[in-house]
């Protein structure tokens, strides 16, 4: 298995632009997590999906952030409009029935 796939790996955009981050989970994993990592706050859980349904989005910082999982093979995290304080590394992680989560390589977002 290729593991969790994220794209793009790096994104540089200007303030006010829309940003879409993509994630392809490991086949058969029915739970998907979006995290944000910053120096100040460490790893923060943004949203959790189970069987493609959003279960907990309490970590989504503002209405500018939205996430979808239209099917078991794909999820997106969208920021519209983006702001400089959104600059961070965004990780997608998935798991099956175990507790361990398996992370993608991350997307480094820079908003100027």
Partner 1 sequence: DQQVKQNSPSLSVQEGRISILNCDYTNSMFDYFLWYKKYPAEGPTFLISISSIKDKNEDGRFTVFLNKSAKHLSLHIVPSQPGDSAVYFCAASAGRSNYQLIWGAGTKLIIKP
- CB-based contact 15:84 (threshold 8 Å): yes
Stretch that binds partner 1, among 11-19, 20-28, 39-47, 69-77 (CB under 8 A): 39-47
Considering the complex, state which of residue 54 and residue 81 has its C-beta at the smaller distance from partner 1: 54
Q: How far apart are CA 18 and CA 3, in angstroms?
A: 27
Q: How far apart are CA 111 and CA 60, in angstroms?
A: 18
Does 43 sit near partner 1 (CB under 8 A)?
yes
Tokens in use for 92? 């997608």
Mapping DSSP onto H, E and C, the string for 6-24 reads EECCEEEECCCCCEEEEEE
Shortest distance (Å) from residue 31 CB to partner 1? 6
Stretch that binds partner 1, among 14-22, 65-73, 78-86, 96-104 (CB under 8 A): 96-104
Q: Which residues form the interface with partner 1 (CB under 8 A)?
A: 4, 31, 33, 42-43, 45, 48, 50, 55-56, 91, 93, 99-106, 108
């Amino acid at each position: 298995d290729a593991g969790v796939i994220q794209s793009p790996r790096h994104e540089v955009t200007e303030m006010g632009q829309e940003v879409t981050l993509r994630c392809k989970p490991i086949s058969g994993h029915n739970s998907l997590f979006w995290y944000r990592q910053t120096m100040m706050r460490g790893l923060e859980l943004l949203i959790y999906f189970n069987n493609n349904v959003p279960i907990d989005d309490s970590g989504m910082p503002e209405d500018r952030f939205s996430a979808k999982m239209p099917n078991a093979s794909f999820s997106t995290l969208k920021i519209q409009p983006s702001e400089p304080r959104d600059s961070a590394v965004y990780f997608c992680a998935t798991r099956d029935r175990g507790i361990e989560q398996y992370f993608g390589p991350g997307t480094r977002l820079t908003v100027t």
